[in-house]
Amino acid sequence: MERLLARYTNSYLSYVLMYLFYNISFALFSALISVYLIDKGFLASDVSLLISVASLAAMVTQPIIGGLTDRFGMRLVNLTMFAISCGAALLFIATPYFAIVVLAYSLLNLLMNGANPVVERMATSSPYGYGKVRMWGTIGFALGTQLSGIIYDNIAPEALYIGFVVSMLLCILGFWGTQPRLAETETANIESDDKEPVSLKDLLTNKLFLFYLLLQILFAATTGATYSFCPAFLVSKGLDASVASTILSVAALCELPLIILSAKFMDKIPNKILMLVCFGLITLQMATYGFDLPLPIIIAITFVCKHPPVILNVMTNMKVVNTIVDPRQQITGLALVKACQNFGTIISNNVGGRIVDASGYPPMFLFLLALIAVGLVGVVLFPVPSGNDKKLFS
């Protein structure tokens, strides 16, 4: 038994289980949330309220979770959050009261998002290379999205969250076996011989980092609302939930080439160019949805522009933060970015849901088009170093 345990510890299998089932879990609890709630009789504005409250909870707790991770270690904190999330999922489907639904979903969301910066950072710190590990996250999310539609149409909507619990238990098994090689200065705020300890104030007075946070608010505001309402938007075009989930699962797989080939381009292309590609593709997606182009074009643009720029932004985010933030504050920096992304999601979902109720989906996407266009201009003006010397991915 000890020999088997030793072979499993930090094995490729442990990373596969963690990334595969973490992302399956994420898809099961969130991919069809708008369809789930609307079918329960709630309005689009109720969906936006739930997602806004859940995003606010994640935003407020993100820096706290980052601090706890620095203090107690990512293993204890993340395993605890994963375990609590299972209980939150069961509470979510057990209650008929909207207030408790919001509370349970918010707890579930803040726990899953709270773990995300560490989970993403681990892919650059495993012994197996970023692409070989992170690709299982994409496969997991695509599989989870596909399973969402199958479960929703053929079993029961509530079964999504039972599946979440099972998947999360397997994620816990995987996470328990990992031992990523994070540098000590990236996991704790230590004092060295030539440097004073750093604090949150150092980040909040970093003007370049604050500019970057603003850009990420705009990016996440656009992609967050799109993630929430894209399934319902496709269903409103006459597609079944299972067909919509199939389209979205294929769209998720479209990010795989970027992940697999990340070692060949991420450390060679400057940060600004990477950001321009991210914002540019999302701009194209919002224009396609907003002007309500024919369904085949919408589906094609969904494949090209929904997930690839988001995963590219995830990778670029790690590179940018590594470039402009003190090495001793990498996890805290990533946590603050995630908090600001949640803030953007709050604003756009709240406003977007009201626009949908009043005018439909295309006007909402035109609103998002305006947001991402402002962000695109901001990227052009963003004086970020290239970051090509960091070698995070190669």
Lowest-confidence segment of 99-103, 214-218, 296-300, 339-343 by average pLDDT: 339-343
Query: Does residue 6 lie within any of the structural domains?
Result: no
How much is the pLDDT for 185?
41
DSSP state of 393: -
Confidence of residue 188 (pLDDT cuts 50, 70, 90): very low
Residue that wins the pLDDT comparison between 248 and 212: 212
- For position 291, which CATH number holds? 1.20.1250.20
Query: Does residue 390 lie within any of the structural domains?
Result: no
Angstrom distance (rounded) from CA 119 to CA 135: 13
Token digits for 323?
A: 């470039």
Distances in whole angstroms, Cα of residue 298 to Cα of each of 102, 213, 285 = 31, 30, 8
Residue that wins the pLDDT comparison between 338 and 222: 222
Greatest C-alpha distance within the chain: 65
How much is the pLDDT for 331?
75
For residues 232-255, give the mean pLDDT.
85
How much is the pLDDT for 273?
96
Among 1-10, 185-194, 219-228, which range has the highest average pLDDT?
Answer: 219-228
Angstrom distance (rounded) from CA 24 to CA 110: 17
Query: Does residue 128 lie within any of the structural domains?
Result: yes
- Domain of residue 100 covers 15-178+200-381
Helix (H, G, I), strand (E, B) or coil at 158: coil
Contact present, 109 and 92 (Cβ < 8 Å):
no
- Whether the pLDDT of residue 192 is over 60: the answer is no
Cα Rg, the chain, nearest whole Å: 20
Token digits for 274?
A: 């990477």
In whole angstroms, what separates CA 297 from the centre of its chain? 25
Contact present, 225 and 345 (Cβ < 8 Å):
yes
Query: Does residue 10 lie within any of the structural domains?
Result: no
Give 235-248 as a DSSP string: HHTT--HHHHHHHH
Confidence of residue 182 (pLDDT cuts 50, 70, 90): low
Contact present, 364 and 44 (Cβ < 8 Å):
no
Helix (H, G, I), strand (E, B) or coil at 387: coil
Domain count along the chain: 1
- Spatial CB neighbours of 59, under 8 Å, sequence gap ≥ 6: 339, 340, 342, 343, 346
Query: Does residue 283 lie within any of the structural domains?
Result: yes
The H or E element spanning position 127 is none
**Distinct helix (H) and strand (E) counts, the chain:** 19, 0
Residue that wins the pLDDT comparison between 195 and 79: 79
Write out pLDDT tens, residues 118-128: 888 787 778 88
Query: Does residue 368 lie within any of the structural domains?
Result: yes
Query: Does residue 195 lie within any of the structural domains?
Result: no
Residue that wins the pLDDT comparison between 289 and 128: 289
For residues 232-256, give the mean pLDDT.
85
How much is the pLDDT for 239?
87
Confidence of residue 190 (pLDDT cuts 50, 70, 90): very low
Mean pLDDT (the chain, rounded): 86
Cα dihedral angle (189, 274, 144, 94), rounded to 10 degrees? 50
The helix, strand and coil proportions of the chain, stated in percent and rounded to the nearest 5, come to 80, 0, 20
Give 327-346 as a DSSP string: GGGHHHHHHHHHHHHHHHHH
Within 10 angstroms of residue 55's Cβ, the number of other Cβ atoms is 28
How much is the pLDDT for 186?
45
For residues 7-35, give the mean pLDDT.
88
Query: Does residue 389 lie within any of the structural domains?
Result: no
